[in-house]
Chain A
Amino acid sequence: MTKLTYIAHDGTRFEVEAENGSTVMENAIRNAVPGIEAECGGACACATCHVYVDDAWTALVGEPEAMEEDMLDFAYEVQPNSRLSCQIKVRDELDGLVVTVPERQG
């Protein structure tokens, strides 16, 4: 199991154990992390699971692919560390990953 931490907009921390192969979005929904809507259910089609990857983790998490980058156009307050959490797959190297949920989803 891999440990993930979500920081909600109000600063509340949610620490969850995630299975490898699942997505960061799925674990947020499973653990009722507020602010992740995932309207499209994980199809990379809505930009409502937008998160900011903690600076210490951006290199390991990696850059969005072209399709995700396109979809990020629909998100708000996009930053260089913005990702759609449905496109981040949990794996061993991400143990300890920290992501912050923006104030509002698209």
Chain B
Amino acid sequence: MEFTDKHVQGLKDLLYKMADDLLILGHRNSEWTGLGPILEEDIAFSSMAQDKVGQSLAIYEILNQLGESDPDTVAFTRNANQFHCSKLVELPIGEYDFSLVRHFFYDHADAIRFEMLATTVVEPLQMVAKKFKGEIKYHTMHADVWMKQLAEGSDESKMRIQNAINETFALALGMFEPSDFEAELQEAGIFDGEFVLREKWLNKVVPLLESFGYSVPDATTTIPEFGGRKGQHTEYLQPLLDEMTEVFAIDPGADW
């Protein structure tokens, strides 16, 4: 079918939120470099960070083909209120328990999102979705292994992860904040929408966490932390961006 302006707007909105999530979470994950609980985790978080930032770049490139600015300009010159990332990804890394739970929640959602997008009618998006699915498989495997072994590790580790699950769940639900274009995206065969994604995600993560021995807050009574997709962010995003763009901003026209 022929895309209308609304379809294109909806597609751009979808791409922006995916790319912004990936960039910001990749940036956060990279902050573990040199500080992980064991060296192997430094290395793992750095690998995932590289994948995520690389994936965000690929999506910004699709946006560029749709008429948006080049990836460096888009990533390094916007303010917080122009970002569409979820609040989940912008929070500081905190301690390992929070970073791991965030990684678990986010990557399962992303794996399903890219699974759904592997059949989108938008060809360049379909291509990257198929490619990223292969990369994200290792991210979810990594998260699952750690969630399981910390459940079985010690009373302290299980309690810490349980607390992090409880404290992060509403933020995780915030990832599925509906856009203004849900109907258009579905009707054009671009994306089945946030609601479908959320249901698939719940069907995946809740039984998995329960099988590890954790309990999961009730999704029907938890109020999701929305706002991020509409540019309303926590106080943590702008300082992150200030830091990220510190050198670039010295001379945005220069070749770095």
Q: Do A and B assemble together? A: no
